[in-house]
Amino acid sequence: MLKFAYHNLLASTLIPSAIPLEKLKESAEIVKVAHQEILSDRRADILGFYNLPELDTNHITDFIAKQDDKFDTMLVLGIGGSALGNKALYSALKTEGELKKKLFVYDNVDPVFLHETLGSVNLDTTIINIITKSGTTAETMAGYMILVDIIKQKFPSDYQKRIVITTDREKGFLRQVIASEGYASFVVPDNVGGRFSVLTDVGLVSSAFVGMDIAALLQGAASMRNRCQNPDIWDNPAYLNALIHFLYYRMGKNISVMMPYSNALYDFADWYRQLWAESLGKRKDNSGRDIFVGQTPVKALGTTDQHSQVQLYTEGPNDKVFTFLTVENFKHDYTIPNLHPDREEVSYLGGRKLSELLNAERFATEIALSQAKRPNANIVFPVIDEFHLGEFIMLYEIQTVFAGKLLQINPLDQPGVEAGKIATYALMGKAGFDKERSDIEQYKKERGLS
């Protein structure tokens, strides 16, 4: 079970400026209201991610079982919620050395990145999985058209078995493509938003393909979901952490830093960044009032960023809340040899494990931040495996929607990304965007751009 150490988030003699217990008690009413709203959203079936642990995954295991053994790589084309969870899960378990097959995720439209990706995969043994809930995302559709064209030309007789599409059950033009081409397909459920979808086919297909135990992943998620159904914040780590972050945000701590002391978990800090930023960064509250809220999520890596960011974290503005991710037991470890027993500069390291040094440095940073009166928490993975990753995913998904309720915003939409999408359509000549195109011409003229 994941452990959540939150003592340095609460007021103590070391951090007297942290949130006092009374403040949490005074929040009982807003917690109650937010909990009721979550229950009502669940009844209305708009928080589908809560029910994903019960997802029937036979269609995924059947698909994997039917694949030709020669397929040893999956290349995912997707972006945002259709990519970050896949990457995070793969990085976490690949680094632990457990996976048999490879995953690549092409989640940009950078041509050099595509060139590198194509240079790294053997297309003959690769399945391409195009993931897009809407089927309209320019970045993913550009990659889709390039890749499918390449695959069709290279493997004209059996290209269909090399292409998989994950999209809405009914909507979108990709459903027509699936029907006419006969591609295998998977579903992004209607009631699960992109950034909450890692435990749907979106994240499970690539995870099962590379050899992850997706049943254990869902068991971990179920265990955390059950733990976080309790309305009492002291028995519900997601609610407690959301409330504390909300109260800190109200106290001016506009930045939430997630700092794994594990390279394997670094991409989960990236996944968290999207979840927290896109869900909570909102202009309007539920009644349509301008409120411009949101805490900026930042990722840092221990120990690497101790030599980059920690100076700012301890002595810069006291506007951040920190969350460390710690691993108790690493699957691989090294003992540092006592190469210079008579040199005190390094002999203290001799005979110690690298993991011991890593976790000592994590604890040292916790002490340094606490002494500098910076609130910090620690989420402890007994070990990095599917079960604990499932717990972590569910913890943060519930925490995020609960924080959205406390902020009185809609954590499930993303109206702020629309303007950029529309301007891209106009710039790239999509039909129906003439007005936006002429606005852009005016914009360029005013700035002397050609």
Site string for ligand PA5, 332-371 (x = CB under 6 A): ----------------------------------------
The contacts of residue 48 (CB under 8 Å, 6+ apart) are 189, 190, 191, 192, 196
Q: Is 140 in the site for ligand PA5 (CB under 6 A)?
A: yes
CB-nearest residue to ligand PA5: 194
Residue in 27, 73, 82, 236 binding ligand PA5, rule: CB under 6 A: 82
Q: Is 137 in the site for ligand PA5 (CB under 6 A)?
A: yes
Distance between CA atoms of residues 80 and 84, nearest Å: 6
Distance between CA atoms of residues 349 and 327, nearest Å: 20
Q: Tell me if residue 22 is catalytic.
A: no
Q: Tell me if residue 245 is catalytic.
A: no
Cβ(362)–Cβ(325) under 8 Å? Answer: no
Site string for ligand PA5, 157-196 (x = CB under 6 A): ------------------------------------xxx-
And the tokens for 175?
């459903």
At position 359, the amino acid (one-letter code) is N
Q: Which is it for strands 3-5 and 376-383: parallel, antiparallel or unpaired?
A: antiparallel
Nearest CB to ligand PA5, comparing residues 302 and 404: 404
Enclosing H/E stretch for 364: helix 354-371
Q: Is 87 in the site for ligand PA5 (CB under 6 A)?
A: no
Q: How far, CA to CA in Å, does 26 sit from each of 46, 59, 263, 332, 407?
A: 29, 48, 39, 46, 16
Could you tell me which stretch among 96-104, 120-128, 134-142, 216-224 binds ligand PA5 (CB under 6 A)? 134-142
Q: Is 282 in the site for ligand PA5 (CB under 6 A)?
A: no
Q: Tell me if residue 100 is catalytic.
A: no
Q: Write down the catalytic residue from 421, 435, 444, 445.
A: 421
* Residue among 353, 401, 399, 407 at smallest CA distance from 379: 399
Q: Is 79 in the site for ligand PA5 (CB under 6 A)?
A: yes
The contacts of residue 56 (CB under 8 Å, 6+ apart) are none
Q: Is 127 in the site for ligand PA5 (CB under 6 A)?
A: no
Distance between CA atoms of residues 300 and 277, nearest Å: 16
Nearest CB to ligand PA5, comparing residues 168 and 436: 168
Nearest CB to ligand PA5, comparing residues 37 and 413: 413
Distance between CA atoms of residues 63 and 209, nearest Å: 9
Q: Is 133 in the site for ligand PA5 (CB under 6 A)?
A: yes
Residue 293: other Cβ atoms inside 10 A: 20
Site for ligand PA5 in 91-120 (CB under 6 A): none
Q: Is 132 in the site for ligand PA5 (CB under 6 A)?
A: yes
Q: Is 408 in the site for ligand PA5 (CB under 6 A)?
A: no
- Given the structure tokens 């945000």, which residue do they identify? 249
Nearest CB to ligand PA5, comparing residues 134 and 254: 134
Which residues contact ligand PA5 by CB under 6 A? Answer: 79-82, 132-134, 137, 140, 193-195, 278, 414
Q: Would you please indicate which residues are annotated as catalytic (active-site) residues?
A: 278, 307, 421
